[in-house]
Amino acid sequence: MNIVLCGFMGSGKTTVGRALSAQTGLPFYDTDSCVEEKYGKTVREIFDTKGEDFFRDAEHDVCCELANGNGAVIAAGGGTLTYARNCKAFENKARIVFLDASFDVICRRIPDAASRPLFKNRQNAKALYDSRRSLYEKASSLTVDADQSAEEVAEEICKKLGLSAK
Ligand code: S3P
């Protein structure tokens, strides 16, 4: 079984994923980094030159590839689990955990949004945050308070999923 971390930009998916990987010894993947490696471009460059639809298809391919593997910690992108096809790809292949951070904490964690094409404007980002919360809840079977430190969040996930420490 894989562990997939979902939640809004700045909820700490990558940092928590690395901490969880260090605590359990499970390998770590990040869907954004997998897309970037595959195309040799940053997420921002892909959005700018090829558009969001192209990025979403690439992201879906990466989800299918990762879902074929087993026993990994996977940090999803902020939009990944808001698409039914990606939820389906991970069905019976992963426990999905929602990192639920408040919008204020997220804004503190993302002072410079240059690398995040969908966080250019705080007002639009808040509307996106509000519209996505119920989708993250629906996609996941465990919700963790992600205003805590990454180490605390990782420990809570370990405990609640019954993962053994390395
Ligand atoms: C996105 C979040 C980003 C990245 C892309 C789109 C989104 O990932 O996948 O910019 O739709 O929320 P992070 O959540 O890791 O920033």
pLDDT, position 164: 83
Q: How far apart are CA 142 and CA 129, in angstroms?
A: 19
pTM for the full predicted model: 0.96
Please, are residues 100 and 42 in contact by the beta-carbon 8 Å criterion? no
Residue nearest to atom 11 of ligand 1 (CA): 79
**pLDDT tens sequence across 63-118:** 999 999 999 999 999 999 999 999 999 999 999 999 999 999 999 999 777 788 89
Cα(116) to ligand 1 centroid in Å equals 6
Q: What pLDDT is stored for residue 112 in this prediction?
A: 75
Ligand 1 centre distance from Cα of residue 77 (Å): 4
- Ligand 1 close to Cβ of residue 77 (< 6 A): yes
pLDDT tens by residue, 34-48 = 999 999 999 999 999
* pLDDT for 117: 85
* Ligand 1, atom nearest to 32 Cα: 9
